[in-house]
Each structure stands twice: as structure tokens, then as C-alpha cells.
């Protein structure tokens, strides 16, 4: 767009030279060279645009080369009419600054200074009679612009380094916060969710049960005779038993399920998107696998669990769900331990006992 406006302004200027009575050093017999230079400028700009759009290689050097050629063509076009046309020769330095390439900036800066010296002593001084002071001023402008561009690049790199440092600090803070959140939610010994997180998650799921009719089952596990394990082998062995059972529970549940350490030797598992029979089969499988764990530190004796499971009924609420599940767990203990009892069975037993 800038080049098109420049060409239009040139045509308007040239078409009104006689009317404006402007003197120019341009020979009227060389107008074909003037037109050729402008056409070549347009061609180079189109070439640079196509290079940027379709070239898979780095466009930097192509753009710099086109910028260099365009700048000198524009200089030769404007020089007969405009004082200070040498400023167009700074275009390659500007392109190098756009890419924030210090090496390229050094090359183009030195090249522009040397090349303009050749243009001055080969063209401007003998043919246009430009004073030496103007040459020195232009070279000083080039040099100052290069130094300013170097300062801009250095400052931009410092800003980038500071931004990267701040970004890394932010990422580290996010990681630390995530770790802290996890530590607040996870039981340190077993690696399962803790009691507080379990209740927060259950409250959220029960809301979905009431609003979206989500299926949910709650199972409570209690390690059989765990006090005897602690008294016989010590609390260190008891901790190892807890961890091994927790690993088994965490490894066998599915992604949509939720396991937590509910109390000292009690665990809780929430099943979602399952029928009651599927959840019952899952806890029965867990019970059998837990009984098969080898506890070498505990005399290699089998350590079992009793499990109570309950299917959530709409309108029951959390308190009633826990009461039913806990009664099922109590029934499993009462019936001889190492078994799974659902709340419906415990309710029947309660009715029979009452009768």
C-alpha cells in the first residue's frame, strides 16, 4: 500500500512539474529509466509478498534482499526530486530490526554505510555535486540508527528474559499450588483421598443424584482384627498392611469411582454409573483379592476385610445413606467377617431380629 501511494504521488508530481515550475536534475530523455525503476519496485514488492506467503524456508533473508533492492531503487527514483532521499537507504536496517537479529543488523548496517559511500563518491559527488558535509551527516544518521537499533534489540531480549522468568515463576507457583492442593486432599499414608475430600465429593455427587438421577452406591470397608495386627506386630507393620490394602483398592476401581481412607482401618468407595449388581460384584472381587495379599511382615497370615454396600435411593440424603451402609458393615462383622453385605440384607436381618 505504501509503495502504491508513493507511485501515485510520483505520477501526480511529474504530471504537474511544468505547472508548478519545479526544476529537476532529471534528464527528460531518461524517463523510460524512471518508469522501469518504478515497475521493478512493484515487481520486487510482489516477489517479497509471494515469498512470505508460500516459501517454507526462512523468509528473513529474502525480505532483507528485497528491502535492500527496493530502498536503492526508491533512492534513485526520488533523488532528482527530493532532498534527503538517502533516508530510504535505511530500509534494510529497519528490516533487520523487525527480525530482532543483531548479526543481520551489523551486516546490513555496515553494508549500508559502505555502499552509500560508493554511491556518494561514484554518483552524488561527481554528477549531483553533493557537498561532503551532507555525506558525513547521512553516514552519521546510519551509524546512530544502527546503534539505536542495537539498543532496542538488547532491551527486547532483556524484556523477553524477564517475561520467561516470570512465566517460569508462575508455572512453578501453579505446580506448588497443585501439589499443596493434592497434599490437602490425599491421605499421606495410603495415597487415597482423605476423609474431608471424601465428604466434599460425596455431597457433590448426591446433588447430581437428586437433580440428574445419577446412580450411586457407597461401600464401607473395615479391616478384620486390625487391632490384633497392631498389638502383635506393631504399628509399623499395621501401616504397611493399610498401605497394601489401599494400593489394591486404588488399583482395582475404575476411573469413575472414588476411593478414600475414611478412618483408621476403614475405607470408603463411591461407585457411579454402575448398577447395584455391578458394584456388588466389584466389591466382592476386591474382598477376594485383598484376602489373597501376602503380608510377610505379619507372619504371612491372610488379612481380610468386611464390606457393607448400599444403593442410594432418591430422597434418602447423606445421613441415611451412611446409616444404612454402616449397618450393612456391622452385619458383615456380626455374620463372621470377610464378607460383603448389602443394606437390604442387613435390613431384613434387623426385621427378623426385631420379630
Catalytic positions = 265
Torsion over CA: 313, 315, 321, 323 (sign): negative
Distance CA 31, CA 271 (A): 88
Angle (CA) 186-190-191 rounded to 5° is 40
Closest Cα partner for 219 from 189, 198, 190?
198
- State the Cα torsion 38-44-49-51 to the nearest 10°: 170
Residue with cell 478412618: 263
Distance CA 198, CA 328 (A): 20
DSSP 158-176: HHHHHHHHHHHHHHHHHHH
Beta strand 305-311 with 340-342 is parallel
The SS3 assignment for 66 reads helix
Distance CA 73, CA 235 (A): 89
Helix axes 343-354, 317-334, angle to 10 degrees: 70
Amino acid at each position: 500500500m505504501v509503495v502504491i501511494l508513493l507511485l501515485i504521488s510520483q505520477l501526480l508530481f511529474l504530471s504537474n512539474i511544468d505547472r508548478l515550475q519545479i526544476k529537476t536534475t532529471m534528464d527528460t530523455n531518461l524517463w523510460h529509466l524512471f518508469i522501469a525503476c518504478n515497475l521493478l519496485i512493484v515487481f520486487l514488492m510482489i516477489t517479497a509478498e509471494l515469498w512470505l506467503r508460500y516459501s517454507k524456508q526462512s523468509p528473513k533473508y529474502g525480505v532483507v534482499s528485497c528491502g535492500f533492492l527496493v530502498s536503492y531503487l526508491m533512492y534513485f527514483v526520488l533523488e532528482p526530486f527530493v532532498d534527503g532521499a538517502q533516508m530510504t537507504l535505511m530500509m534494510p536496517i529497519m528490516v533487520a530490526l523487525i527480525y530482532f537479529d543483531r548479526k543481520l543488523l551489523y551486516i546490513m548496517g555496515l553494508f549500508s554505510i559502505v555502499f552509500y559511500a560508493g554511491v556518494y563518491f561514484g554518483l552524488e559527488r561527481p554528477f549531483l555535486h553533493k557537498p561532503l558535509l551532507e555525506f558525513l551527516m547521512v553516514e552519521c544518521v546510519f551509524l546512530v540508527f544502527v546503534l539505536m537499533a542495537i539498543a532496542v534489540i538488547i532491551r527486547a531480549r532483556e524484556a523477553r528474559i524477564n517475561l520467561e522468568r516470570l512465566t517460569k515463576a508462575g508455572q512453578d507457583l501453579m505446580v506448588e499450588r497443585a501439589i499443596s492442593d493434592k497434599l490437602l486432599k490425599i491421605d499421606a499414608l495410603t495415597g487415597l483421598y482423605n476423609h474431608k475430600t471424601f465428604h466434599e465429593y460425596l455431597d457433590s455427587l448426591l446433588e447430581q443424584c437428586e437433580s440428574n438421577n445419577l446412580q450411586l452406591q457407597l461401600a464401607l470397608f473395615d479391616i478384620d482384627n486390625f487391632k490384633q495386627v497392631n498389638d502383635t506386630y506393631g504399628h509399623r507393620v499395621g501401616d504397611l498392611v493399610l498401605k497394601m490394602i489401599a494400593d489394591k483398592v486404588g488399583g482395582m476401581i475404575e476411573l469413575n469411582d472414588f476411593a478414600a481412607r475414611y478412618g483408621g482401618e476403614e475405607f470408603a468407595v463411591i461407585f457411579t454409573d454402575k448398577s447395584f449388581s455391578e458394584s456388588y460384584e466389584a466389591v466382592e472381587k476386591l474382598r477376594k483379592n485383598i484376602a489373597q495379599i501376602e503380608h510377610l511382615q505379619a507372619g504371612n497370615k491372610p488379612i481380610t476385610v468386611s464390606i457393607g454396600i448400599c444403593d442410594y435411593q432418591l430422597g434418602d440424603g447423606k445421613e441415611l445413606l451412611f446409616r444404612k451402609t454402616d449397618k450393612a458393615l456391622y452385619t458383615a462383622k456380626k455374620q463372621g467377617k470377610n464378607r460383603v453385605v448389602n443394606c437390604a440384607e442387613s435390613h431384613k436381618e434387623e426385621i427378623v431380629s426385631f420379630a
